[in-house]
A and B are shown apart, each in its own frame.
Chain A
Amino acid sequence: MSNIPAELKYASTHEWIRDEGDGTFTVGISEHAQELLGDMVFVELPEVGATYAAGDDCAVAESVKAASDIYAPIAGEIVAVNEDLEDAPETVNNDPYGDGWLFRIKADDASEIENLLDANGYQAVVDED
């Protein structure tokens, strides 16, 4: 059974998003997603300062199995990326909700997060996989 923390929001495309309380949101991929992809070998992150609309592909998680697009769950500007993943992509496998975060985005409209799934809603997506 894969871990789905209750305090996070989720996209149906398997990203999680955490409200940092200052208008910025941290994004990563779920434990279920990293299990599906297998060992991560490269993570291609967006540029700090780049802006995206909700649903834009903004990063790539490349595993032993496949290259998989990561989508911006909400619109905004990238304010930080997890540079440690450059040398240690396996952190996404080992700690997907912690040190394996991908990027932080400053929301254009923080209310967009209400459109995302809660843990129960995401559980239903996982159950369908």
Chain B
Amino acid sequence: MANRTPLYDAHVAAGAKMVDFHGWDMPLNYGSQIEEHHAVRRDAGVFDVSHMTIVDVSGDQAQAFLRYLLANDVAKLSQPGKAQYTSMLNDNGGVIDDLIVYYFDDTNYRLVVNSATRERDLGWINKVASEFEVSVKERDDFAMVALQGPNAAAKLAQILDAQQFANIDGMKPFFGKQVDQYFIATTGYTGEKGYEIIVPAAEIVSLWDALLQADVAPCGLGARDTLRLEAGMNLYGQDMDENVSPLAANMGWSVAFEPSDRDFIGRAALEAQKAAGTEKLVGLVMEERGVLRHGQKVIVDGGEGIITSGTFSPTLGFSIAMARVPQPVGDSAEVEMRKKLVKVKVVKPSFVRNGTSVL
């Protein structure tokens, strides 16, 4: 039987269409994924993300371990609670997973990694950790929701008491803070303001119920996918995987080559790729009718590539996609759709931020 999060019964009660997502029974939508999408862009929505894997890393060598394990440099983090987007690479420079690391102090960090890759991630982390004085602890005693949207702060203020809310009111993006039983972070996967909130599993149902009571829309995986794609955020397994370099997945900004004397797994491979040149992840826009889809062939000046993620953008009213293509890339491309070649615009892979188009 598939895994269930502590919110399974709450999803069914809210009318969710449940689907299998990498071994987890998760809500696809609660009726209309487009309405859920608009709720996040215009008001506030909540997602169950309890299937994601939370790993606490501690010990004298925690910093040295993470500087070797991760492509971004945790030594750049000095403010307690600061979060960083990063990735774990294999020796070939392929992405094992992308993740967020939270810094508490030089001996305490928290990682939030994908659910689809849980076993492999934990195996890899533990294998590398065996060379260091660190303790690695999976926190399956926790559950997590993402509260996202322009009114997320106002909704959270209705649920926390005044003192708790004052603790995180105005917190900058990409920070996390423990407030009583809540670990509240200003992170997300939608391109809107909002929070990811980690609580002990036993308390997630009451948090969920309180959010729905505050008229926050429950949102499923369908809306999560269209929101993240509009925001130009990668989905592991689709936009990159262990055979794809972060440099070919628009993740180069999260790889810290400096300082040059920091060794990290995959570094040598990435330096060689950087010198040789890699494919590139671009955005595609098609304003005529039709929907760009994962797996469609894309032709650019440099040759043939592939759409890694494509969808209809509910915010923009036309189709958008991300595609991995060989360089050089001009400002247009052709996509093979239903046996015809259709001309599309090439843009940076970011389409919507804070409710409005960035095209």
Give the B-binding residues of A (Cβ under 8 A). 38-39, 41-42, 44, 62, 64, 66-67, 90, 93
- Contact call A90/B290, Cβ cutoff below 8 A: no
Judge whether A67 and B338 touch: CB under 8 Å. yes
Note all chain B residues with C-beta closer than 8 A to A44. Answer: 289
In the complex, which residues 286-338 of chain B have their Cβ closer than 8 Å to any Cβ of chain A?
289-291, 293, 311-312, 338
Contact B291 A93 (CB under 8 A): no
Inter-chain CA distance A38–B311, complex, in Å, is: 13
Question: Cβ of B250 < 8 Å from any Cβ of A?
Answer: no
Q: Note all chain A residues with C-beta closer than 8 A to B28.
A: 38
- Prevailing SS type, chain B contact patch: mixed
Contact B291 A67 (CB under 8 A): yes
B84 at the interface (CB under 8 A from A): no
Residue of B nearest to A39 (CB): B34
Q: Which residues of B contact A (CB under 8 A)?
A: 28-29, 32-34, 222, 226, 289-291, 293, 311-312, 338
Considering the complex, give the chain A residue whose CB is closest to the CB of B34: A39
* Chain B residue, CB-CB nearest to A42: B289
> Cβ of A38 and Cβ of B290 under 8 Å apart?
no
Contact between A62 and B32, CB atoms less than 8 A apart: no
Knowing A64-B34, A64-B222 touch, does A38 contact B29 (C-beta < 8 A)?
A: yes
When C-beta atoms are compared, the residue in chain A nearest to B313 turns out to be A41
Least Cβ distance of A123 to chain B in Å? Answer: 20
Other A-B pairs, 13, CB within 8 Å; known A42-B290, A66-B293: A38-B28, A38-B33, A38-B222, A41-B312, A42-B291, A44-B289, A64-B33, A64-B222, A64-B226, A67-B290, A67-B291, A67-B293, A67-B338
Q: List 6 A-B contacts (CB under 8 A).
A: A38-B29, A39-B222, A42-B289, A44-B289, A62-B290, A64-B312
Shortest CB-to-CB span from A102 to chain B, Å, is: 16
Complex CA–CA separation, A67 to B222 (angstroms): 16
A-side contacts of B338, CB under 8 Å: 67
Q: Give the docked Cα–Cα distance between A41 and B290 (Å).
A: 9
Residue of B nearest to A43 (CB): B289
Instruction: State the 3 A-B residue pairs at the shortest beta-carbon distance, nearest first.
Output: A41-B312, A39-B34, A42-B289
Is B34 a contact of A90 with CB atoms below 8 Å?
Answer: yes
Q: Are A62 and B33 in contact, CB atoms less than 8 angstroms apart?
A: no
Q: How far is the CA of A99 from the CA of B32 in the complex (A)?
A: 18
Chain B residues, CB < 8 A from A90: 32, 34
Q: How far is the CA of A52 from the CA of B255 in the complex (A)?
A: 57
Q: Name which residue of chain A comes closest to B17, CB basis.
A: A35
Question: How close is B308's CB to chain A, nearest CB, in angstroms?
Answer: 17
Taken together as a complex, chains A and B put the C-alpha atoms of A38 and B222 apart, in Å, by: 10
CA distance A39 to B29 in the complex (A): 10
Complex CA distance for A39 and B34, rounded to whole angstroms: 7
Q: How far is the CA of A66 from the CA of B32 in the complex (A)?
A: 15
Q: Which residue of A lies closest to B32 (CB)?
A: A39
Contacts of B293 in A (CB 8 A): 66-67
Residues of A within 8 A of B29 (CB): 38
Select the residue from A44, A62, A64, A90 with max chain B CB neighbours within 10 A. A64
CB of B33 within 8 A of CB of A39, answer yes
Query: How far apart sit A44 and B28, CA to CA, in the bound complex (Å)?
Result: 25
Cα–Cα distance between A44 and B338 once the two chains are bound (Å): 13
Among A38, A41, A66, A93, chain B packs the most CB atoms within 10 A around the CB of A41
B29 nearest in chain A by CB position: A38
Residues from chain A with a CB closer than 8 A to the CB of B311 are 64
